[in-house]
Amino acid sequence: MIPSITGQKSDVSDKLRGFLGKERVQKQKDITPYLTLHNQASAQYFFQAESKNDLINAVKASRALGLSLLIMGGGSNLVVFRKDLTGLVVRNQFINKQVLVEDKTHVELSVSSGYPVTRLVLETVVCGWEGFEYHLGLPGTVGGALYMNSKWTKPVSYFGDQLLRAEIINLQGKIRQVDRSYFRFAYDYSFLQKTKELVLEAIFCLKKIDPFVLKKRSEEAAQYRKQTQPMGVATCGCFFKNISEIDRLRLGLATTSAGYLIDKAGLKGKVVGDFMVSPKHANFIINRGQGKSKDLLLLLQEIKSRVKEKYQVDLQEEVIIV
Ligand SMILES: Cc1cc2nc3c(=O)[nH]c(=O)nc-3n(C[C@H](O)[C@H](O)[C@H](O)COP(=O)(O)OP(=O)(O)OC[C@H]3O[C@@H](n4cnc5c(N)ncnc54)[C@H](O)[C@@H]3O)c2cc1C
């Protein structure tokens, strides 16, 4: 039962523990290991959600106690500049998957928002369920991938493509079902980036095809990743969005790739402190150890100004900056 918070003398952390469980709320938790860029950060309050109810209770608790709320999935697109995050940080470990409807040609699959994407890819490929195969190797969770509308570009495949509907919760704690159109998916965009609603669960419709075809597609995508991206390093993937088609045409370039522009601006391998522009893929920034926020800021400034100077383009961050 959720306790009343009025008239209580206990401090915020006691109240939070009342909402979320005595042993389950940690104070001043180091969250660096949960961020794939390994930038140093700690959370004032930290909670690991393992069920839908945990997520709902976390939203309700943060609202009742006036705490800001940050949900993180795999932390693979998050750059935290503030060393000490105030409020509640929720790491989404709600992992569940269920077939809702199945016929000869399609399957309707409900997947929890904390489900790891690569696990989902492997499991659906084996079953011959089409739609996620190009995302093999995409770090993070279903919730993060929907929030970002994560993509693969060879060929173009967005994570939100197969979504039918989703169960979401707003910051006031209201839960509802919305269909795909609500997300207004676009390149690196979903409407949730404006509303700040959280995905609880998502329902996808996947077509049944030959598993062998899907396996081949997923392996080709993974192979391309290996050839073009640095592996086994601390990074959050592509840091900047690709440029618009209008800018590409204006510049007479063959590609919209932000990495191409950064490379041609002579920045591959550029180092500030422990942060470095990957020599393999110029849109990947790598933390080589104990990277400090001030160094990352300097490196970003240098990248933006050199690209602006050469191409008159303002690069926009793809990553979510906190
Ligand atoms: C090596 C590497 C390769 C990558 N390759 C690609 C790629 O090919 N294509 C691509 O598009 N991206 C890529 N990325 C970026 C990143 O992996 C994706 O954007 C990923 O989908 C983010 O998911 P996440 O769970 O890690 O989100 P997080 O980084 O944890 O969070 C990102 C944002 O989503 C929000 N969020 C998380 N969960 C929810 C939820 N349940 N409801 C609402 N909002 C939520 C967070 O609050 C945050 O604002 C790559 C990153 C790395 C490190």
At 3, the pLDDT band (50, 70, 90 cuts) reads: very low
Q: What is the pTM of this model?
A: 0.96
287 lines ligand 1 (CB under 6 A): no
Q: Tell me which residue range forms the domain holding 236.
A: 230-321
80 lines ligand 1 (CB under 6 A): no
Cα-to-chain-centroid distance, residue 46: 18
77 lines ligand 1 (CB under 6 A): yes
Give the residue whose CA is nearest to atom 46 of ligand 1: 72
User: Separation of 120 CA from ligand 1 center, angstroms?
Assistant: 15
Active site (annotated) includes residue 23: no
Residues 6+ apart with CB under 8 A from 70: 43, 85, 87, 88, 89, 90, 322
Domain boundary among 225, 241, 274: 225
**Residue 10, pLDDT score:** 62
In a domain, 5, yes or no: no
> Does 303 have pLDDT greater than 70?
yes
In a domain, 1, yes or no: no
Whichever domain contains 311, its CATH number is 3.90.78.10
Domain boundary among 77, 92, 107: 92
Active site (annotated) includes residue 318: yes
Same domain, yes or no, for 174 and 254?
A: no
- pLDDT tens across 98-109, in order? 999 999 999 999
Same domain, yes or no, for 243 and 317?
A: yes
- The mean pLDDT value for 76-91 works out to 96
Per-chain mean pLDDT for the chain: 95
Residue 22: how many other CB atoms lie within 10 Å = 8
Count of domains forming the chain: 3
In a domain, 4, yes or no: no
Q: Are 14 and 20 in contact (CB under 8 A)?
A: no
